[in-house]
Structure formats: structure tokens, C-alpha cells
């Protein structure tokens, strides 16, 4: 069965369309992938990275969260996100512990306010909370699932850890398939023009080119 695609900005790698098991109120999840030009600490990258993150759904599978995620992504705020979910009008954004504890309370508050501005601007505004996830077994005290799932916190932490164990969420360097064609990289002096390609065509004012005879 083909995996549904919820967005033109992300690829859905795995989808659970309805509740699975007995955790919370119909809990299930989907995994999405996007390309990031910011690392997990929101610092600019010279080369883009792959970013996999999970949407945790409740029983109503409210796809309005996709618009919120798209806006977060286009604002350059998605790269630290590991899990995100909406439940009863509350948008829970769970970021990597590395980002959560990076710059202290002031930076975290600035990040929260930026997410809140996006959530407030939706057709149906949501309140926002920010949580943390640390995959290291030695650091359970750095995982704060907040209210992303309505259940015992121990069970919620285990559920999130199992998803991460399966999908290795977060940002990482892109590794092309061994069978993929070699990438052509422009020479430094080519100003972005591929070798052996035609010179770029400069559009005049109005965007109309004269006939070329090509």
C-alpha cells in the first residue's frame, strides 16, 4: 500500500492512519523527512542534512498539524524537532535535548515564543509547550514528553524511545545510495554553472526572451 503524502515540503516515510495499541487516547504516529540547511542547534550548514521527525497523532488524526509544521519549517525552526503532536488544542513540540539545554532559559523562551507566534496565526489557534528528548539511556532526566500523549509518563517515554530506536530521529549527513549516479559538483570558478552547460540566460525586464532559433 502506498504511503500517503501529507505535504509538498516533506516526504512521509511511514504512516499509521489510525490508533495502534492501547496507549493514551488512540495514539499512533507517522515519520516524515525533510532537508535542513540548519543543524540541530539551528546553526547554518555548508551542506544540507536529512531530518527525520515523528508526528504523534491521537484518535482524531488531525491533519491541520501539517500546516503548523510547514510554517515552523519555513521559519527555520524545525531542525531541533524530534516529535510533534497536537492534542485538544495543545501543540507539543519535543526538541533534541542538545538544543533544549544549549543556551539556557532565555534562548528556549525565544524559541517557544517563535513557535507560539506561528500557532497563534493559524485559523484555529493552538497553545504551545516545548519538551525535550534525550536518547541516551543514562540521561532519562533530560526527556520531558510533556502532554504529547495522555498516559503514564514512563509509558510515554518508552513509546517515544521505541520510535527513535526504529527511525533514528533528528538531523544527519546525507549519504547517497551506492547505486545512485555520481553527483556533478560545479567547479569553484563556475559560479554555479555545471561543466559543459550553456551559459545562463539572462531575462530582460518583463521576463520575455527574444527568439533564439534553438
Tens of pLDDT along 120-141? 999 999 999 999 999 988 788 8
Share of the chain above pLDDT 70, in %: 83
Confidence of residue 197 (pLDDT cuts 50, 70, 90): very low
Confidence of residue 83 (pLDDT cuts 50, 70, 90): very high
How confident is the model at residue 104, as a pLDDT?
Answer: 84
The number of beta carbons lying within 10 Å of the beta carbon of residue 32 is 24
* Residue 95 and residue 131 in contact, taking contact as beta carbons nearer than 8 Å: yes
Bridge partner residues of 94 (DSSP): 83, 131
How confident is the model at residue 200, as a pLDDT?
Answer: 44
Residue 66 to residue 188: CA distance in whole angstroms = 38
- The pTM is what? 0.81
* Residue 65 and residue 42 in contact, taking contact as beta carbons nearer than 8 Å: no
Of the candidates 65, 47, 41, the residue with the CA atom closest to the CA atom of residue 170: 41
Mean pLDDT of the chain: 87
* Residue 113 and residue 120 in contact, taking contact as beta carbons nearer than 8 Å: no
SS3 176: coil
How confident is the model at residue 202, as a pLDDT?
Answer: 42
Share of the chain above pLDDT 90, in %: 76
Q: Is the pLDDT of residue 164 over 60?
A: yes
Q: Is the pLDDT of residue 199 over 80?
A: no
Residue 191 to residue 178: CA distance in whole angstroms = 28
CA 32 and chain centroid, separation: 7
Q: Is the pLDDT of residue 210 over 70?
A: no
Amino acid at each position: 500500500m502506498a504511503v500517503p503524502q501529507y505535504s509538498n515540503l516533506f516526504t512521509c516515510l511511514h504512516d499509521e492512519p489510525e490508533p495502534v495499541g492501547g496507549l493514551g487516547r488512540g495514539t499512533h504516529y507517522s515519520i516524515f523527512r525533510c532537508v535542513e540547511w540548519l543543524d540541530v542547534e539551528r546553526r547554518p550548514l555548508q551542506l544540507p542534512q536529512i531530518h527525520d521527525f515523528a508526528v504523534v497523532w491521537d484518535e482524531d488524526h488531525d491533519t491541520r498539524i501539517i500546516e503548523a509544521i510547514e510554517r515552523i519549517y519555513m521559519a527555520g525552526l524545525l531542525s531541533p524537532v524530534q516529535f510533534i503532536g497536537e492534542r485538544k488544542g495543545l501543540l507539543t513540540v519535543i526538541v533534541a535535548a542538545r538544543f533544549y539545554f544549549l543556551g539556557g532559559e532565555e534562548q528556549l523562551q525565544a524559541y517557544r515564543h517563535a513557535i507560539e507566534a506561528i500557532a497563534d496565526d493559524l485559523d484555529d489557534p493552538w497553545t504551545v509547550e516545548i519538551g525535550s528528548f534525550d536518547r541516551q539511556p543514562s540521561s532519562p532526566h533530560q526527556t520531558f514528553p510533556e502532554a504529547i500523549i495522555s498516559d503514564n509518563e514512563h509509558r510515554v517515554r518508552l513509546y517515544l524511545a521505541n520510535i527513535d530506536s526504529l527511525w533514528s530521529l533528528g538531523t544527519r549527513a546525507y549519504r547517497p545510495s551506492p547505486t545512485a549516479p555520481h553527483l556533478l559538483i560545479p567547479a569553484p570558478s563556475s559560479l554555479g554553472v555545471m561543466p559543459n552547460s550553456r551559459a545562463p540566460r539572462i531575462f530582460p525586464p518583463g521576463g520575455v526572451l527574444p527568439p533564439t532559433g534553438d
